[in-house]
Amino acid sequence: MTPLAAVSWSGGKDSYLALHRSRASYDVVALITMFDDEGTRSRSHGLRPQVLAAQADRLGLPVCTGRGSWATYEDGYLRALRDARTLGISHVIFGDIMYDSNREFPERVCAASGLVAVEPFWGEPTDQLYREFVLTGADARIVTVKDSVLDASWLGRRLTLNLLDDLRAAGADPCGEHGEYHTVVVDAPRFSSSIDVVRLDHVSRYGCWALDFTINEFSASRGDAAGI
């Protein structure tokens, strides 16, 4: 019997690739996403709830959500795992690639919840993972950049094979593993339709440039994402 699993879902390229690659070995039945205390932005990527909801809708999957500050993040994640367990899952799939601290957290919280943490990318070369993501046919746009490495002109750019050379030339890890950038997936072969993105503004905060955007709820056309 294929194990039931949830994917730890940021809304970006790594979580989508984890979902894409793991479908052959797991029956993915849910996404898990963490938000801030107010539930207005996702942790790390700073995405609006409407964006995460649109992704889940197009994947046909429910989302188990948690809330918390960075200080209470673990408690919030444990609550989300409890909700996911009610769906019968036994495994949780993560998109971590490097740093022992990144791997230690999933293993700890999953063990405490009676679940198994799965890290399908761990230790793999990031240039290969970047190419693998692009070749899935998914459309990911850069929404956050560390301004000591990449400037605001990178916001909204689509991950392509050609962009990989630009990232390297700028001194960024191909997958942004040192915090150089984060992404949002706006279309993918596994989406029922693309997400029509409406650009609002970009802001500088905590040493990063971030793109603020929402979605056009009335658009369900497949094609290039709009406005980003």
Identify residue 124 by its one-letter amino acid code.
Answer: E
- The single residue listed with the structure tokens 């706006």 is 186
Strands annotated E in the chain: 4-8, 27-35, 63-67, 91-93, 116-118, 139-146, 181-187, 197-205, 208-215
3 state SS of 78: helix
User: What are 85-101's pLDDT values in tens digits?
Assistant: 999 999 999 999 999 98
Per DSSP, helices labelled H in the chain are 13-22, 49-59, 73-85, 100-112, 126-135, 161-169
- Dump pLDDT digits (tens) for 31-79: 999 999 988 889 888 899 999 999 999 999 999 999 999 899 999 999 9
pLDDT score recorded for residue 221: 45
Q: How far apart are CA 41 and CA 50, in angstroms?
A: 10
Question: How many residues does this entry show for the chain?
Answer: 228
For the chain, the distance separating the N- and C-terminal CA atoms, rounded to the nearest angstrom, is: 42
pLDDT band of residue 222 (cuts 50, 70, 90) is very low
Please state the pTM of the whole predicted model: 0.92
pLDDT per residue as tens digits for the range 100-111: 988 999 999 999
- Residue 40: per-residue pLDDT: 84
Who contacts 171 (Cβ-Cβ below 8 Å, separation ≥6)? Answer: 149
